[in-house]
Structure 1
Amino acid sequence: MSHAIKKHVIFKKDKWNMITVEVNGSRLILREISDQWGEDTHTFMSRPALMKWANDRFPKDKYEGTEEEYNTMMEAFRSV
């Protein structure tokens, strides 16, 4: 029996600026798409590894959006 890949949208400004995470069995495949850098893909074997990446990638003290936007994005990572 094959498991469907579940896709989570973490952040989406438009089709050129977004972060999605696909859950494929025990693998978490994160795609970060930006109009500045193109597409970057990261594969994680656990949710704690994904959260470590998210916290390293988006340090709260350097986040450029509002605190509410930051909290919403981090909650989206936690809900994967």
Structure 2
Amino acid sequence: MKQILGFDYLLTPKLMVFLYWLFMVLIVVSGVFAMIGGELLRGIVAIIFGLIGCRVMFELIMIAFKNNEYLRRIAENSDKAAQ
């Protein structure tokens, strides 16, 4: 509990994975509805570019959290080496 309250453990990356999959499903569903509505090409293009764009945006966000994780490891290793 202390890790969560002290921000030693980040919840946002776990939340981002859930949101990523939620948005992926919503993109596919909206593309399918567009195809059913008579806009076949627009639906296919929306699915393809929507999925790629969603992945890129979430990867850009996750880079910040991964950098934080790597910096924490570097700091821990440098503390061990200094002792």
Q: TM-score with structure 2 length normalisation? A: 0.32
Rg larger in structure: 2
Q: TM-score, normalised by structure 1?
A: 0.33
* Structure with a larger share of its residues in helix: 2
